[in-house]
Amino acid sequence: MPSVQITDVTGDGGATTVALPDELFDVQANIPLMHQVVVAQLAAARQGTHKAKNRGEVSGGGKKPYRQKGTGRARQGSTRAPQFTGGGTVHGPVPHTYLQRTPKKMKAAALRGALSDRARDGHLHVLSGLGISGTPSTKQAVKALAGLTGATGRNVLVVVQRDDELGWKSLRNVPSVHLIAADQLNTYDVLVSDDVVFTRAALEEYVAAAGAQLAPQDGGSATASTVSTVSTIEQPAAGTETSTTGAGVAGGAVTAGSVPVTAVELAAADDAAAQTDEEDAQ
């Protein structure tokens, strides 16, 4: 399971690492699928209102320019024919839509591949926050991003929540930063950006929504419960020993030792035990 360090720009919190679900951030990138989705997205952004007038739509040209015979010139019936200056256009552009039907599952799979590629290359980051309180501060927000990505002038995609008013107002006028809401995350914006930066709240929102899409209709899979949560791993202090025995709760799943056991598996085990008890009683 991939993990990423949560950066606390205020310096008040301890070092923590967030464990990213394999189903969302560690999948094989399907290049042809990503290309198809990006082409469809760019095509959908085209307005499609281009139009050129043909000879029947151009104003004028109703009179025959000169007589049919006796001039030595080629016969003409209108000055709005395509060969004349000011004439109509032959086979010119007409308004039409460029929309390409792309199923939701294809778009979601392409996005998972793009995010996985950024995560494997170390270009996916998580911020506890932008360190802004009270009033918007572009200076503070840019400082936090510059220290995070390690370079200035790079294209950074910042994913925030829709109600993060301070974040939107602080970064919306920075040329190298593209702000996007967690529910608007798409393959094109991820691929054209050098770094992808999530706020902690935005990451949890995206993982919950993407995990719900991956879950089957009957809701009986253990994958749904493990994908829809983000586990936080506290970094142990120096010189301390960590125990690998016992049971704990992390990211919505109960862990016994180092083997994760989901709530669905526990329920199945309880049902099996109850059935065994009934058979013994009979």
Would you place residue 244 in the very low, low, confident or very high pLDDT band (cuts 50, 70, 90)? Answer: very low
Sequence ranges of the domains in the chain: 3-32+103-237, 252-282
Rounded Cα distance, 228 and 122, in Å: 22
Which whole number is the average pLDDT over 160-181? 90
- Give the amino acid at 144: A
Prediction pTM value: 0.70
Tokens representing 32?
């042809």
pLDDT tens sequence across 23-80: 999 899 999 999 999 999 999 999 999 999 999 999 998 899 999 999 999 999 999 9
pLDDT of residue 259: 42
Q: What is the mean pLDDT of residues 106-122?
A: 93
Q: Which residues of 28-42 are buried (b: 16+ CB within 10 A; e: fewer)?
A: ebbeebbebbbebbe
- Which helix or strand (DSSP H or E) is residue 274 part of? helix 263-281
Instruction: Reply yes or no on whether the pLDDT at 223 is more than 60.
Output: no
- Domain 3-32+103-237: CATH superfamily is Ribosomal protein L4/L1 (3.40.1370.10)
Mean pLDDT computed over 13-28: 83
More confident position, 82 or 152:
82
- The CA angle 23-164-132, to the nearest 5 degrees, is 110
Name which residue leads in pLDDT, 228 or 279.
Answer: 279
- The pLDDT, as a whole number, for residue 216 is 60
What is the overall mean pLDDT for the chain?
Answer: 80
- pLDDT for 269 beyond 80: no
Q: Are 22 and 116 in contact (CB under 8 A)?
A: no
Instruction: Supply the pLDDT for residue 222.
Output: 39
Three-state secondary structure readout of 33-64: HHHHHHHHHHHHCCCCCCCCCCCCCCCCCCCC
Which residues lie below 8 Å from residue 276, measured CB to CB, with a gap of 6+?
none
Q: Could you report the per-residue pLDDT of 203-221, keeping only the tens digit for each?
A: 999 999 988 878 764 454 4
